């Protein structure tokens, strides 16, 4: 006879947080098929993780949608049959319909990146209005192309989304999900930063919208590079490369104030290179389409 064994507390917690090696996880899952006690303990541990809390919320949404459907409606009717007309969502039901959409966008609409965007926008306005610093647009345009890139790093991948493995396995996962979240990042940052730049005095800096093409090219470049090395490494390379290309020559140059040299460097990178940025964006878009399948295997990057 074999001695029965049960999953230890350490093994259970490591399985719940995803740090258990894959072979050990398979062995534990096989054991859970026949051990009710261990299955209960593992289920409790998983429910206390961020992914477990989200799954509980998804479960509540499904139960709510099922409870509120018309009597006699079949599953096929719920999937789009003309026999069942869904009422327009209002009030509490509007919130219920919006929650899955917001979760699909993931950290693109919440977390540290959104706080960073608000900090840059509000900080630039306060620096100009309260402190009277006239070169604020120069500083804003220096940071603006990096902010969408940072949003890409914080909106896709296992490090950013507790449900990444689940969502990546769905038909809308992979590159499609990454592009959806990137679009949310761009949809928030582009108008916010452009309008903020337009509200600031020029002071020799390029136009408020001059950063849009460079930001688009850097974002697409980050997504393309991420198919090889993962989102965090890719965005660190592209974002760090941009800051180095702008700041290093400005600090190394002589004559005039630092902000004036920085404004001159931005003029070279923006005004004189817009066709190049457009071409770079187009090339990155093509390469990203070629590398789209790689996004199905970014679980560990």
pTM, full prediction: 0.62
Check residue 261 and give its pLDDT: 86
Q: Which two tokens stand for residue 283?
A: 């090339």
- Position 152 scores a pLDDT of 79
Residue 132 confidence class, pLDDT cut points 50, 70, 90: low
Q: What percent of the chain has pLDDT over 90?
A: 12
User: What is the rounded average pLDDT of the residues 243-271?
Assistant: 85
| Alpha carbon distance 19, 30 (integer Å) | 18
Q: Which H/E stretch holds residue 197?
A: helix 175-198
Distance, CA of 257 to CA of 299 (rounded, Å) = 47
CB 250 within 8 A of CB 265: yes
User: Does residue 78 register a pLDDT over 70?
Assistant: no
Give the pLDDT score at 156.
72
> What's the whole-number mean pLDDT along residues 191-206?
82
pLDDT in tens, 205-236: 788 788 889 999 999 999 999 888 888 889 99
- Residue pair 169/161 in contact (Cβ under 8 Å)? The answer is no
| Contact call for residues 203 and 263 (beta carbons, < 8 A) | yes
> Which residues, other chains included, contact 282 with Cβ-Cβ below 8 Å and sequence gap of 6+?
none
Task: Read off the pLDDT band of 39 (50, 70, 90).
Answer: confident
């Amino acid at each position: 006879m074999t001695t029965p064994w049960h999953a230890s507390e350490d093994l259970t917690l490591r399985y719940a947080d995803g740090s258990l090696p894959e072979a050990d996880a398979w062995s534990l899952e096989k054991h859970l098929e026949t051990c009710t006690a261990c299955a209960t303990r593992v289920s409790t541990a998983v429910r206390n993780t961020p992914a477990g809390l989200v799954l509980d919320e998804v479960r509540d949404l499904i139960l709510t949608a099922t409870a509120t459907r018309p009597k006699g409606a079949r599953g096929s009717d719920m999937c789009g049959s003309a026999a069942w007309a869904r009422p327009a969502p209002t009030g509490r039901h509007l919130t219920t319909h919006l929650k899955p959409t917001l979760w699909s966008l993931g950290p693109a609409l919440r977390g540290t990146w959104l706080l960073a965007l608000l900090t840059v926008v509000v900080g630039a306005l306060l620096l100009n209005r309260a402190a009277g610093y006239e070169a604020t647009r120069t500083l804003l345009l220096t940071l603006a192309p990096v902010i969408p890139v940072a949003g890409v790093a914080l909106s896709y991948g296992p490090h950013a989304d507790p449900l990444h493995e689940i969502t990546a396995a769905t038909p809308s996962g992979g590159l499609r999900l990454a592009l959806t979240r990137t679009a949310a990042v761009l949809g928030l940052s582009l108008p916010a930063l452009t309008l903020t730049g337009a509200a600031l005095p020029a002071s020799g800096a390029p136009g408020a919208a001059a950063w849009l093409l460079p930001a688009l090219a850097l974002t697409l470049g980050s997504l393309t590079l991420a198919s090889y090395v993962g989102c965090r490494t890719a965005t660190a390379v592209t974002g760090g490369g941009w800051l180095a290309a702008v700041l290093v020559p400005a600090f190394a140059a002589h004559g005039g104030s630092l902000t004036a040299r920085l404004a001159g460097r931005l003029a070279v990178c923006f005004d004189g290179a817009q066709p190049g940025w457009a071409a770079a964006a187009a090339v990155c878009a093509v390469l990203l389409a070629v590398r789209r399948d790689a996004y199905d295997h970014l679980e560990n990057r």
